[in-house]
Homo-oligomer: A and B are copies of this chain.
Amino acid sequence: MGRSVTNKPPVPASESSGSNRLRPNVPIAVRAANLLRRRLRQEFAHGGRLPSEHEIAVELGISRGTVRQALAILQQEGVITRQQGSGTYANPTVLGIPARIDFAYEFGQLIENSGLRADIQTLEVSTTMADADAARRLSIVDGDPVLLVRKVFLADGQPAIYGHELLPLHLVREAYAAGELEGPIFRFIERRCLTRVDYILSELVPTTASALVASLLDLAEHTPLLQFVEVMYSPRNQPLVLASIYFRDPPIRFHALRKLVPLD
């Protein structure tokens, strides 16, 4: 009969009144994970046991299921480990890693995570034609026009990352200023392309510095270095950007975390 009992949650205990939330659609579990991650980096940077699921649930005014969802995110990231019967523990080893390969989105951020000051230097913004390989990877036709952006990222003034990005021109739906392309390209896509980057697939190519890359990254020619050849995709699985990125080893050294998955 009538409306059944529903339990609109009593607001996640962050800002109970005033402007209810900054972004509306961020799930409580994700916000709780973000909150706990910040606490981990502050209070638990050197390890320690977190409160129990029940205590966190009460503290944040959410259900245990939602707390578990938040903790699952952090466990997946490796920043906590959990022991049945004992508790949830911070993992200082993982918390201390500045460059996780699976979290390398904004390269400026990547540099700052390493404790360095980041500067971006835009070398070129132009339109050109896709070659055969680029066209194939972007699901467009050889010769189609693409936006080309070339950048160097500096860490404490020293060149650290060089990259060039290709964005098919047909994706751009609105007029734009050249300056807009100096920030992260996914911000540009969100603003001007009616879509967003959902995931990035990178090929890890071991290489050595060419004359061009050596001069841009202030390296001796033939110095070993890591290259990403990456394609960025929309939620609908459409290729949006083809990029090629070169990372100078000092200061950027990537880490990967592998967790064993159970089989049946």
Give chain A's interface residues, CB within 8 Å of chain B.
21-23, 26-27, 30-31, 34, 76, 78, 81, 83, 89, 91, 93-94, 97, 101-105, 186, 197-208, 222, 224-226, 228, 233, 235-237, 247, 249, 253-264
Contacts and interface: CB of A to CB of B under 8 A. Distances in A.
Nearest to A89: B237
A205 B257 contact: no
A30 to B, nearest CB: 5
B206 A260 contact: no
Contacts of A226: 204, 206, 226
Copies of this chain held together in the complex: 2
Which of A30, A78, A259 is most buried by chain B, counting CB atoms within 10 A of its CB? A259
Contacts of A105: 258, 260
Given A201-B255, A237-B91, A76 B76 contact: yes
A30 B262 contact: yes
Contacts of A26: 262-264
Chain A interface mostly: mixed
Nearest to A72: B72
Contact of A264 (B23, B207, B237, B261): B23
B31 A264 contact: yes
A236 B89 CA distance: 9
Nearest to A82: B235
B253 A203 contact: yes
Contacts of A247: 206
A75 to B, nearest CB: 10
Please list the 9 inter-chain residue pairs (A to B) with the smallest Cβ-Cβ separation, ordered nearest first: A206-B224, A206-B226, A204-B254, A200-B258, A31-B264, A26-B264, A202-B256, A199-B259, A208-B224
Contacts of A94: 201
